[in-house]
Amino acid sequence: MSPRFATLAPGDPAPWFRQRSTSNPDYAFDTVAGRYVVLCFFGSAADAGAQAALRSVRAHRALLDDTRACFFGISLDPADAQGRVQESLPGVRFFWDFDRSVSRLYGAVAADAGEDGSSFEMRRFWVLLDPALRVVALVPFAPDGSAGNALFDLLRRLPPPGQAGEQAGEVPVPVLWLPDVFEPELCRILIAAYEKGGGQESGFMRDVDGKTTLIHDHWHKRRRDFVIEDANLIKAIQNRVLRRIKPEIRKVHHFDATRMERYLVACYRGEDSGHFRPHRDNTTKGTAHRRFAVSINLNDEFEGGNLSFPEYGPREFRPPVGGAVVFSCSLMHAVSPVTQGQRFAFLPFLYDEAAAKIREANQHFLGPGYEYTS
């Protein structure tokens, strides 16, 4: 029976995966979105074709700055990890794909190839991905070693991330922009509730040993949160969301948001350079039920603190006081550092009855420091 290889073509979404890399023992590949990504399935640096490919990377090193583009080499040879190839930051990293899991996903190794070390057929090629991690081009290795140069020539001609080309303009960002969700008075009441109750240092969720666990890492996120518990205030918030956000989600996404998670006022403080690096809101077992995130600004006396969606370019969003940005929890997003003042925001998640069943089923995955707030 002939080996079965996965096939990718331009326009296809690139498979996501987690794998050991030179910079991270458990690298989540989807987090690299927001720039062009060059992948090179070279197998072993001992191979002459691989050596030509790596020379091409060095020759085009200036293109790989982690802002416009980055490079990952995928090695199947444990000897490569003994110093034969090394990362060079910013922009150049390697995956140690010794179990061949990534190579099977991308079609470099047959999908039915085992992990027992027996001989296997390998296809060596380059893959170029766009900032949303969709395939732009696949370039097989050439006998004369020219494939890498051809791929980097293509990369050089592509528009900057977030641009669709000279005629098309900016890449549209799939978010809802909704002014006037909260009245100014309600915004002031929510800020006063935060200031009276005091904010607590906020973490983020990560699956650790099978449990969704609260993590604190100021490099990744710096924010203070206060949970609203006043029943009348919660009812007022629900009323605005039902009247002014739910109908728009139904109209645009044909989705009936019936549930809301957390009544939370967040504060990004300038004194802390409050920020949240690129992330997605539904990647753990304890957050898999989340469908839409809502970000409502409660004030405007601050600098920085803008919302962005790196998969679609560098454009930043700053809704007016009481205005909301609503977006799928699957989208990568970030909050830039607040450089002056304090940004107050109301930040719930919305979901439906089907997702509520997922939430209920996953409660036993909640680990230390994390519990549902509503």
Rounded to 5 degrees, what angle do the CA atoms 374, 296, 247 make?
Answer: 75
Q: How far apart are alpha carbons 123 and 307 in whole angstroms?
A: 41
> What is the band of 118 on the pLDDT scale with cuts at 50, 70, 90?
low
180 and 153 both lie in a single domain: no
Instruction: Return the percentage of the chain with pLDDT > 70, whole number.
Output: 95
CATH of the domain at 142: 3.40.30.10
Q: Which domain holds residue 237?
A: 176-365
pLDDT score recorded for residue 114: 62
Is the residue at 243 inside a domain? Answer: yes
Let me know if residue 170 belongs to a domain. no
> What confidence score (pLDDT) does residue 111 get?
82
Task: Specify whether 198 is located in the same domain as 347.
Answer: yes
**Domain final position from 113, 129, 157:** 157
8 A C-beta contact, residue 273 and residue 338: yes
For 220, residues 6+ apart whose C-beta sits below 8 A from its C-beta are 204, 276, 277, 279
Joined tokens for residue 282? 């539904």
pLDDT computed for residue 362 by the predictor: 92
Q: What is the pLDDT of residues 249-304, one digit of tens each?
A: 999 999 999 999 999 999 999 999 999 999 999 999 999 999 999 999 999 999 99
Question: Which of 126, 157, 188 corresponds to the end of one domain?
Answer: 157
How far apart, in Å, are the Cα atoms of 276 and each of 153, 184, 236, 333, 335? 34, 25, 28, 9, 5
In a domain, 58, yes or no: yes
Q: Do residues 79 and 209 share a domain?
A: no
Together in a domain, 134 and 208: no
- Do 273 and 239 belong together in one domain? yes
One domain, residues 209 and 151? no
Is 152 in the same domain as 184?
A: no
Q: Please report the pLDDT score of residue 164 as a whole number.
A: 75
Q: Is 195 helix (H, G, I), strand (E, B) or coil?
A: helix
Predicted confidence (pLDDT) at residue 369 exceeds the cutoff of 90:
no
Residue 368 clears pLDDT 90, i.e. is over it: no
Q: Is residue 152 part of a domain?
A: yes
Same-domain check for residues 143 and 181: no
pLDDT in tens, 175-192: 999 999 999 999 999 999
Q: What is the CATH number of the domain that holds 234?
A: 2.60.120.620
Give 241-304 as a DSSP string: HHHHTHHHHHHHH-----EEE--EEEEEEGGGT-EEEEE-SS-SGGGTT--EEEEEE----EEE
- pTM higher than 0.85 for the full model? yes
Q: Are residues 211 and 264 in the same domain?
A: yes
Residue 251 located in a structural domain:
yes
Together in a domain, 124 and 58: yes
181 and 319 assigned to the same domain: yes
- In terms of Cβ atoms closer than 10 Å to its own Cβ (0-12, 13-18, 19+), residue 220 is middle
Count of the separate structural domains present in the chain: 2
